[in-house]
Structure 1
Amino acid sequence: METIPEWNNDVAFSSGGIISNPADLTRFLNALFEGKLLKPKSIEEMTEMKDGYGMALYQFPFGDRKFFGHNGRIENFNATMGYNPNEKLSVSLISNGSNYSLNDMMIGILSIYYKLPFPFPSFEKINPELIAKYSGTYSSNEIPLKLTVFEKNEELMAQATGQSAFPLTLRDEKTFIFAAAGIEIDFGDNSLILKQGGMKFNFSKE
């Protein structure tokens, strides 16, 4: 465990200057999009996306659904919230720790709400022997990319050819997930199966 020193709030200025909770954030979103706080014209301007951003809002997807919202962070306090105008649904999440991705938590919450399958992770520390066993470069005859699995800060990571690295969350001794992209990886003896979007790809360790 690493102790993080408290910030001097004079540096942060207005960032983190409001204390709230998920219920109040959700009420705020509802009031905003119901026209109780701003005129409809202002909402239109806020939700007009340019390069992925609007005015004080950005758009994030969940499957075919689109949410308007924002997130924020100060010290190790994190918050995120979103609103789906088609369903008039607001969702907010606040966390005071960083041992698990807030984005993955939100994916889990929305998956459960929409009754979609969601593989709950195990929060046990990964056995170093498993990290050593699964680390390496894997290739497939089915798709033209390689997948490198490696250790970083005592956790398991993966990186496909030409893509950014992503963390693998332990579900059981053979199965790891990356919920943000809907990826599940099942390890075998010098092999793995990558599952995503209803498809399966077989890889062999080089």
Structure 2
Amino acid sequence: MPTPRSQLFETLAQVGRALGNGHRLELLERLAQAEASVEVLATAAELSIANASQHLQHLRRAGLVTARREGRQMIYRLTDERIVQLLNLLRDVAQSNLAEVERLVGRLFTPADEDQPLEAKSTQELWADLQAGRVQLLDVRSEDEFQAGHLPSALNLPADQLDQLLDRLPRDQPLVAYCRGPYCVLSHQVVERLRSLGFQVTRYEEGYPEWKAAGLPVD
């Protein structure tokens, strides 16, 4: 007969099992930006709506997400902002101990011009630059993610609308692009495109959820 101790560990293991799927981690990354419908989440994780719904049910049973009905839609959100810290810890442990993670990250962010690597600003560097008024931030996430919260005084420049919004960008100030997190390629793509057009631009190595989790100001 299971003891209370073994039952406790088995219950804790539900969280581990819920996290043990790449698609679910992608869904959590998107929900770390803002609550979203199943349809939006399915698109973000490149899943069918039925498949996304199944993964969300696993996350819900593990207490990682909650949902409410809004008309005919189910809207999901994280149950606890500490989940962002949990994901960051998972990432840090994996990068420190799994050589495959470092190799894949290198492939993910290989620049088109390998002679000009895309350096990234740390949280501390970016905060210092913002306080000194040295940079203009570019939030390259979707408009709904931006409206739910963003870094201070950032301009919303969705990656898929970049060329239509170029006239909004200052050319006399360094730019820093950011997106959903350390594995989000949107800011990398925007930086490469803007550099090819002559802008002085780099990227933030983290994302909106990590900035907020660090206790730094957001709008």
TM-score relative to the length of structure 1: 0.30
Hey, which of these two has a bigger chunk of helix by percent? 2
TM-score relative to the length of structure 2: 0.29
Structure with higher Rg: it is 1
Higher relative contact order (CA 8 A, sep 6+): 2
